[in-house]
Amino acid sequence: MNTDRADEAIRSLYRRLEPQVNTEGFCQAIGTKLAARKAGTTRRRIMRVAMVTGLAVAFVAVAGVGVYEALTHLGQSQEVLVITDEPTTALGTTTQPSAQVAGECVNVLHPYHNVFLDAPTYLIPASISLTHPLPEFPKSIPAQRITSELLPDTDLRLVPKPAAIGLLPVVRLRRRSLAQQWASQFAGGRCRGVARAFPSEHGLWDEAYSAPQVSVGSSEDGPGGTSVTSWAVRFEREPVAAGLERYVSVRVAGNDEVIQLTLALPRLKPVEGKLVRLRPIAEVVADTMAWQTGDSGALQNEIQEGEVPVNIRSAFLAYQDPRLG
Amino acid sequence: MQGQQRRQHRRSDVLAYEAFVRQHCARLIQSLTLVTLDEELAADAAQDAFLQLHLHWDKVRRHQNLTAWLYRVGINRCKDYRRHLGRLSNLVGRLAANLPPPSESVEWESRVDALAMLGRLPLKQRTAAALFYEADFSVVEIAAVMNISEGAVKSHLSRARQSLRQILEVER
């Protein structure tokens, strides 16, 4: 059998083997499937549109809340908050027994949080060892304010009076030219990096936590004609108080210099070797409400000159929800 | 005006698709049956291929060889089904391993016998032969459908031809 004849024979074999096909039935089946698929597609499209709309609404709501919070918090005159125990220790290292420390716990309204929250209470026990006595708090300054905390080893140059005092950042929003917007975006990205890196670089945050997120910034004119950008930096930490528990504001001047730092830390864990100025409990207890009633211009602490040689081994602020009794 | 044109365009698309389905469905099912040796499976695969064609009609209609595209989708779908069925039959086989063997032997008709012998061909040879003898594809078209070289198609066809000759001789 040659190839052509074999092909012919095989072809006829295939013709005998091929099944009978009901073309009409098959076409109807396809039509039914297509109709079902079309109905499914329409249903899916409606669902998708509904989902996208829902997400958009949720996003706008969240963004609105975020912007509102940022506008409310950034540029506030309050600065840093480390409330600690009494400077009972003198030269040399001492450690207080835990029972004694517990006895000294005092309920104190946290000045920063009280602005925004329903008066959460902080207990302030501490086991702090000091190598040197703390400096006396100047009598001329109303004591129970926000304690403006400098990190003495950071060369921070605090502005004597916060630029935004008495003004909400929203007032400073203005229409800018395209070129200005481009320049601002470029500088904004840089400042954002500085704001993100600064708290970690200076040991304000435990490296074990995830990288900080810089969320919202607002610009304003700073001293010396420079532009100052305030950034809200948020850290992934366990929630303690809603909204502000992980909040840091870093103000970055045009030359990438951090000029002001605002912390809202329910639990600040100082790092060994870093210097943090401490505030005596007695002063806090003496007039815990002064910060609320005084003249807002007088709320500012003076910049403390010189180094404060305090060697903190450990300190913490224990948060207790007042609703828990 | 534009809306009317669009509706007309869509209508002509539907008609073209319908005509294409009617023209090719029988031959596609028959060819796939002779590849898979399973009519139901072949009909399902053909149906899927036509649904895919409808789904991508705007893009695929300008394809150089639309028929080859359709057969390729159909054959790929058959392979997917076979893989699935293979797993299923393994499972069934394991479950039925302890059952007693059937007491009566089945008498095969000649058609079934021939199909069974066709089933002994390797899948690639069977596919090439089905496309060549049943769908009347050229070697070039088969190469496009199977995504292999023309030389490989010829080799598969030659071997299939040799085996099929034996089937024919047995039939005689």
Pick from A32-41, A279-288, A308-317, B43-52: least confident: A308-317
**Mean pLDDT across A170-194:** 52
Mutate to test the interface with A, among B30, B41, B171 (most CBs of A within 10 A): B30
**Mean pLDDT across A243-253:** 54
Choose the closest CB to A34 out of B54, B115, B171. Answer: B54
Considering only alpha carbons, which residue of chain B is nearest residue A35?
B51
Per-residue model confidence (pLDDT) at position A291: 37
More confident residue, B87 or A54: A54
State how far the Cα of A12 lies from the Cα of A157, in Å rounded to an integer. 97
State how far the Cα of A292 lies from the Cα of A109, in Å rounded to an integer. 11
Per-residue model confidence (pLDDT) at position A12: 85
**Mean pLDDT across A39-51:** 83
Q: How far apart are the first and last CA of chain B?
A: 67
**In this complex, do A10 and B168 lie within 8 Å of one another by their Cβ atoms?**
yes
Choose the closest CB to B47 out of A9, A17, A33. Answer: A33
Interchain CB contact of B40 with A (< 8 Å):
no
**In this complex, do A13 and B168 lie within 8 Å of one another by their Cβ atoms?**
yes
Nearest C-alpha of chain A: how many angstroms from B168?
8
Choose the closest CB to A17 out of B46, B51, B111. Answer: B111
Per-residue model confidence (pLDDT) at position A88: 31
Pick from A18-27, A208-217, A284-293: least confident: A284-293
Mutate to test the interface with B, among A1, A11, A13 (most CBs of B within 10 A): A13
In this predicted structure, the answer to whether residue A73 has a pLDDT above a threshold of 60 is no
Q: Which residue has the tokens 């409808």?
A: B54
In this predicted structure, the answer to whether residue A324 has a pLDDT above a threshold of 80 is no
State how far the Cα of B147 lies from the Cα of A57, in Å rounded to an integer. 49
Per-residue model confidence (pLDDT) at position A248: 57
The DSSP line for A219-257 is EEE-GGG-EEEEEEEE-----SSTTTTTEEEEEE-TTS-
In this predicted structure, the answer to whether residue A217 has a pLDDT above a threshold of 70 is no
**In this complex, do B21 and A1 lie within 8 Å of one another by their Cβ atoms?**
no
Q: Which residue has the tokens 């500088």?
A: A187
**Residues of chain B scoring pLDDT < 50:** 99-108
Cβ proximity of A124 and A276 under 8 Å: no
In this predicted structure, the answer to whether residue A204 has a pLDDT above a threshold of 60 is no
Pick from A27-31, A183-187, B22-26: least confident: A183-187
Biggest CA pair distance of chain A: 120
Per-residue model confidence (pLDDT) at position A40: 78
SS3 A96: coil
**In this complex, do B167 and A13 lie within 8 Å of one another by their Cβ atoms?**
yes
- Could you tell me the sign of the dihedral formed by the alpha carbons of B116, B120, B122, B128, in that order? negative
* Residue type at position B32: L
Choose the closest CB to B30 out of A11, A13, A18. Answer: A18
Per-residue model confidence (pLDDT) at position A212: 61
Is the ipTM here above 0.95?
no
**In this complex, do B33 and A18 lie within 8 Å of one another by their Cβ atoms?**
yes
**Mean pLDDT across A30-42:** 79
Considering only alpha carbons, which residue of chain A is nearest residue B49?
A30
**In this complex, do B164 and A7 lie within 8 Å of one another by their Cβ atoms?**
no
Per-residue model confidence (pLDDT) at position A161: 24
In this predicted structure, the answer to whether residue A288 has a pLDDT above a threshold of 50 is no
**In this complex, do A14 and B43 lie within 8 Å of one another by their Cβ atoms?**
no
Q: What is the pTM of this model?
A: 0.41
Interchain CB contact of A44 with B (< 8 Å):
no
pLDDT tens, B135-149?
A: 889 998 899 888 889
**Mean pLDDT across A284-299:** 38
Interchain CB contact of B34 with A (< 8 Å):
yes
Nearest C-alpha of chain B: how many angstroms from A12?
9
Residues of B in contact with A34 (CB under 8 A): 51, 54
Q: Which residue has the tokens 């209508």?
A: B11
Q: What tokens were used for A245?
A: 């528990």
